[in-house]
Structure 1
Amino acid sequence: MSKHQLLGMSGSLRKDATNRFLLRNAARLYGDAVYTEADLNLPLYDGDLEVADGIPDSVAQLATQIAEADAVIISTPEYNKMLTGVLKNALDWVSRVKPQPWEGKPVAVMSAAGGRAGGERAQASLVAAMTPFQPRLVIGPEIAVAGSSKEFDADGVLTNERYEANLTKLMAKLRAAVV
């Protein structure tokens, strides 16, 4: 079998966001795969824009990346007790693409946040937002990196052994979900 295609989606646009670091650590622990990080810097969803111009090229590219991926990992910070607007906007745009690329896709969600809950509420809202798309969500162990700015070294490597052990388990489950 060829290498798996693994797509990472960060709910933060920041270049050095801890959620990007978490995705890269997840990809490393996933094992032998071609890893791509999606660009979620998309125009705001606007039905009038869609009617006038159709699906933007950047959204079509994201939908293609999702469709071609064997599995997807999504990591989001928590903004005001929810997933980020960046991530919700991407989900809203991709929901307009036919055929729907999420259906049956193995997906693992995780979060990294500055607070002590590590983004647990953001994950809950992300799962709720994903439900209509009918992906195959790979659940547990939950990865919610609290105080995330202190959990990665200067190179973005996760330094907490417990988080790494649970992330290893989650990535093994995600790999096993690929058929």
Structure 2
Amino acid sequence: MKKNIFIIGGSLRKKSYNKFLASNLIEIGKNDFNFEIFSDFNLLPMYNTDDHSENDWPSALLEIGDKIKNADGVIFITPEYNFSVPGYLKNCIDWISRLPNQPLDKKPVCIQSASLGPLGGARVQYHLRQILVFLNARVMNKNEIFVTFAKTKFDETGKLIDEQTINFIKDQLNGFKIFINE
């Protein structure tokens, strides 16, 4: 039976390599997973406790929370900004963390990142792990996906063309399927 995976990721950029990475998962994992991607971070205002009450949540946030709760697992796909988590993703997580019955609590999660440089977003993944540990998400430790030199791994349409990277992703997805069932 296919697992339902909610992807939170991408970037604000239209031609982001992280958006490309997220969209390629649909093809790579199609035999084992149903994927849904959330990447419209503009739907959430900047988090401020003065702007909401327990009964007044942004509708996009309630939808994200429901999708996380109903998913078998969540995959975060993110670029690295200034050695850390991009502000729009942190804002999204801050909103999610305030929901009643925390949807990320004990939720199986894995992380991927793509970067133009040689580290592939390693630092953002470590910072994101710290945040997710605080929220009590079950973060998969291995296999990690750091797509280095991303410009050379995708074609002009955003299709992932690097076989080694595709195989690494297949390995991670196979591991995630097992991790979800643990």
1:8 is aligned to 7
Q: Report if aligned partners of 2:143, 2:175 keep a CA contact under 8 Å in 1.
A: no
| Aligned pairs, number | 178
Normalized against structure 2, the TM-score is what?
Answer: 0.90
Alpha-carbon displacement from aligned partner over 1:76-111 (angstroms, at most 9, x marks no partner): 111000011111111100000011111121111010
Q: Measured at CA, do residues 5 and 12 of structure 1 come closer, stay the same or move farther in structure 2, by a change above 3 Å? A: same
Alpha-carbon displacement from aligned partner over 1:116-151 (angstroms, at most 9, x marks no partner): 211100111111111111112112222111221221
2:72 is aligned to 70
Counterparts of residues 18-29 of structure 1 (less than 5 Å):
18-29=17-28
Question: In 2, distance between residues paired with 1:92 and 1:52?
Answer: 15
Counterparts of residues 83-102 of structure 1 (less than 5 Å):
83-102=85-104
| Structure 1, 26-35 or 129-138: larger mean CA deviation | 26-35
Q: Report if aligned partners of 2:10, 2:22 keep a CA contact under 8 Å in 1.
A: no
Asked if 1:36 corresponds to 2:51, the answer is no
Counterparts of residues 1-179 of structure 1 (less than 5 Å):
1=1, 3-32=2-31, 33-38=33-38, 39-41=40-42, 42-51=44-53, 54-179=56-181
Amino acid at match of 1:27: I
Normalized against structure 1, the TM-score is what?
Answer: 0.91
Question: In 2, distance between residues paired with 1:100 and 1:52?
Answer: 13
Could you tell me how far 1:48 is from its partner in structure 2? Answer: 0.6
Could you tell me how far 1:11 is from its partner in structure 2? Answer: 4.5
Point out 4+ residue stretches in structure 1 off by more than 4 angstroms. Answer: none
Alpha-carbon displacement from aligned partner over 1:51-82 (angstroms, at most 9, x marks no partner): 39721111111111111111111111110000
Aligned residues with identical type, % of pairs: 33
Q: Report if aligned partners of 1:9, 1:40 keep a CA contact under 8 Å in 2.
A: no
Amino acid at match of 1:34: N
Question: In 1, distance between residues paired with 2:3 and 2:143?
Answer: 22
Amino acid at match of 1:63: G
Q: Report the RMSD for the aligned CA atoms in angstroms.
A: 1.7
Alpha-carbon displacement from aligned partner over 1:9-32 (angstroms, at most 9, x marks no partner): 115122331111112223332333
Q: Measured at CA, do residues 120 and 110 of structure 1 come closer, stay the same or move farther in structure 2, by a change above 3 Å? A: same
Question: In 1, distance between residues paired with 2:13 and 2:35?
Answer: 19
Amino acid at match of 2:49: G
